[in-house]
Structures are given as structure tokens and as C-alpha cells.
Amino acid sequence: MTTAGATTAPSPSTDAANAEAAAAPVTLSAAAPTPDEVVAIARREARILLDPASLRRVAASRAIITDLADDSEPHYGISTGFGALATTFIDPERRAQLQRSLVRSHAAGSGPEVEREVVRALMTLRLSTLMTGRTGIRPVVVETYADVLNAGITPIVHEYGSLGCSGDLAPLAHCALAVMGEGPVRLRDGSLVDAATALADAGIEPVRLQEKEGLALINGTDGMLGQLALAVDDLRLLLSTVDISAAMSVEALLGTDAVFAADLQALRPQAGQAVSAANLRAILDGSPIMASHRTADCTRVQDAYSLRCAPQVHGGARDTLDHALLVASRELASAVDNPVVTLDGRVESNGNFHGAPVAYVLDFLAIVVADVASMSERRIDRMLDPSRNHGLPPFLAHEVGVDSGLMIAQYTAAGIVSELKRLAAPASVDSIPSSAMQEDHVSMGWASARKLRRAIDGLTRVVAVEVMTAARALDLRAPLTPAEATGAVVSLLRESVEGPGPDRFLAPEIEAATEAVRSGAVLRAVENVTGRLR
């Protein structure tokens, strides 16, 4: 599994689709972007266009802030300090300094660098909120944010620093600092330079912040929400792929597909369960191995839970993902800032920056990931155990006793699953008061997002070990042959992972299988036979 701060590879569908996504610009406006549009910008470098009508609304709300800046009455974030210092009035000539000081002081992250795609996602979402015209920021700031993203300039954001309330303050402050021309950034080629140099080379003028603007750049749930959008993209792929690995295991273990029948699934009308069962039926369709033991000689009444109940577990995971997507879609449609410019022109304090709704579903998905991986690992172990694998050699070894086969590959999967169970402990139930007890309850949503990314990497690796194990088991069933769809996965894997034989260096083969899962190659191999899985 990758460590915190390490780069996690994207999970594209097809090379052609990636190229199309990279070439297709995304227009940001006052309307909510879709999760797919956020992912396209974050992962595939889609160019950002700004809707002119929305920019005019941005300018109109800025006029309200300008008027309030001249008011003798204090207004939070415009003519006062922040957080516990909200009662401190700031003289007009000091307010630009106030905004710069806010960003500099809040850019206080620590630890490893956060992945480039995460930083691009959170910047995209902050830009989306700015485009709603509810933050009171100047259009030039909005345009500069878009220019920085389009130039491939990525501020350095650190692993630690956000409590997920008052927004992801530290991560967003590091981004705002770069737009001011300060702090370190990475260019598109990965080289590390200072922000002033990067902006100058790209022909971008650094922003000189005015009233309210520093606050508007750092007050949002964008870090945790961006990682939720990326997680949805990952899990869509993985939940289809784990249906494939389960089908391969059912076939390799001489299990039955009768339990996946549509009429049986309809007796429990859970939506995700029906989808997963339909996938399993499509993948196993026409399998000679399955047909070989549909005889009176087969005395087994039913398969173990890890085979028989795959649609129920995988389906529950799908339903949870659908709920998370609903929450993400609502959050994408939000204007998260404090204070916020209302539709009728008031400037009001609010609590919409609290990350609880997003944090809860991030934690919920970590539970799902752990359980799906746990079931996958049980199927791996069953294929290696001669007392349960129905005639396959122990550990699928070539020469039993001399060779260990895939014994330790199961250890690897088991070790990951054990960690996933620890990562399933929710971060959102914790809270540490901050800002002199002004911010006395926080969401810890950033931590929920960070551990979910690590968990998704772990699930990818467990599913890869199951695919690799099932492929070897299917080879060992020769002369019986697998279904066309599962056979396509075996053929794909054999391009980089050898079939049964004497023991060899196994780690590179696990990595090759992991990349085949993560890249979507396993899913594409099956869909080339079955058509699109759901």
C-alpha cells in the first residue's frame, strides 16, 4: 500500500477516453460541476473555461463587499479579524495586510506532500464556489485561479493541517499563497520551483488580495470533497472489477452461478445487489467449467458465503457509493464560505463550512472498502487450501513441498485487509477544539478523506491478488476452460504475469496485476466480451 502523501495512480477507463477527457475543456459557472468534471480537471488536466455570465455575477457581489468595506460598522472578515479575533476592528489601510497575513499564517501544513490530483481537485472546487458569486471576491482572483490550474502549476500542500471545519483551511491557504506568488509549487513536469518564478514564467500576475478575499480562498470543504469525487471515480471501477474477481473465484472453485439468478435476487430488491448479480451472470455466461459440474455427481448443496453472498456485499457497497455520490452532488452545488453574500445582497455568517456531511460518507466508504476486501481475501484463501479448493494443489504450487506457490500472496492480502479494518474506524467521531474554543467542534473530514485514499489503494491490491490467484487456479483446471470473459482476463494477465510453474520472484507479478486492476485493463478485457458492466 502507498504511504500517506505518496502518489496514487489514477484509474482511467480507456486510453481513448482519457485522451478525449484531457482534450475536452470544462466550463465552470454558477451551476454545480459534476464529479466527473472535477475528476477530468484533477486527473486528466482538462482545461478550464469560465462562464462570462457567472463572472458578471461575481463582479456584482464584489460591489456589495466594496460598499461594506467603507461602512463604519464592523463586518466579519471584511473589517474585522478572524475566528476568535472576530471582535477586533481593522483600520481600512491595514485590511489588505489582514488578508495576506491570514493566508500566510494559515499555510501551516506539515508532513509529506499531498498528491497532485488532490490539490488540483481542491483548487477546482474552490474555483467552483468562487464562480457562484456568493463569496464577494473580485473576478481577477477567479481568473487567476483558473490560469494557475490551466498552466499546470500545483501548490505544495501537506498531509497534516486540516481539521475539516472552517473548511480545509491549511490546504486551501497553501493554494492561496501560491496565487499570491509565494511558497513552493510544482510544475507540470514535477519540478519544484517557487511560486513567483512559476507565475512569471507562465505570464500570470500574482494576486494582491483585498477585503474578504483571503477568507474566501480558504473557507471551504474542498479538500475532503475533492478526494470524495476522486474516490467515487476509483470505486466505480473497483466495484465492477471485484465482481470480475469474484466470478473468477466462483468458477475456479467449481461453485455455482445458480444463486445469482435474477428471480432469486428480486426476492430482496436491493438495487446494488441486483446490479452485482447481473454482472456475475454476464461474466460467467457459457463457462465450460461451470457446465462440467452441473451433474448428478455434484453433491454440494451450497457454496460458502464468500462466493454465494458476493452480490449482497458488493451490492451493499454499490448502494453506499450511490449515497456518497448523492452527498457529493449536493456539496458540489453548494456555495461554502463564511461570511457569504446572499441572493438578496446580505452578507451573513453561517456554518456551511462544517465538513460533517462529507466526512460521514468518507468514513462510510472506508467501512465498505474494508468489507469488500475482506470477502475477496477469503476467496483467495479458499483457492489455496486443498481441503476447500476441490482438487487444486495446495497453495496452487507447482511441486508441493518444494514450491510455496501463492502462499505468501495471501499473507500480503491478509495484511492489507487487517490494515483496512483499522482504517475503517471513523475519523468523523473525533473532535479537538481550536481557535480558543471558538471552533469547538470540528469534522476531521480531511482525515477521513486521507485514510479513504489509502484504503482504496489497499482494496485495489487485494482484488489484484484475487485476480492473480483465480487466474492460476483456472489454468490448473485444464483441460476444462473458463468462460470467454474470465478467460480474457487470464489472457490479459499472462502478458505480464506467468502462469503456473516453479516458484519465482512474486512481488513484480503482484504489482503487474495491481496495475491491470487500477488502470481498468481487467474491466476492459471483460467488457470487450460482455458489453458494458453496470
Q: Is 266 in contact with 311 (CB distance < 8 Å)?
A: no
**Choosing from 76, 145, 160, 411, which is the catalytic residue?**
76
The count of other CB atoms within 10 Å of the CB of residue 269 is 8
End-to-end CA distance of the chain: 27
Residue whose entry in the numeric block shows the C-alpha cell 513441498? 401
Q: What angle do CA 277, 283, 284 make, to 5 degrees?
A: 90
Query: What single-letter amino acid sits at 351?
Result: G
- Residue 71's alpha-carbon distances to 61, 82, 199, in angstroms, are 16, 18, 35
Q: Which residues pair with 434 in a beta bridge?
A: 439
Q: Helices (H), strands (E): how many in the chain?
A: 21, 9
- Annotated catalytic residue 76: yes
CA gap 119, 157 in Å, rounded = 7
Q: What angle do CA 408, 411, 414 make, to 5 degrees?
A: 155
Element (H, E) at 159: strand 158-160
Antiparallel, parallel or unpaired: β 26-28 and 48-50: parallel
List strand residue ranges (DSSP E) for 161-216, in order: 184-186, 192-194
DSSP state at residue 137: -
For 184, list phi and psi in degrees, rounded to 5: -85, 150
User: Can you tell me whether residue 154 is helix, strand or coil?
Assistant: strand
Q: What radius of gyration do the chain's Cα atoms show?
A: 26
Active site residues: 76
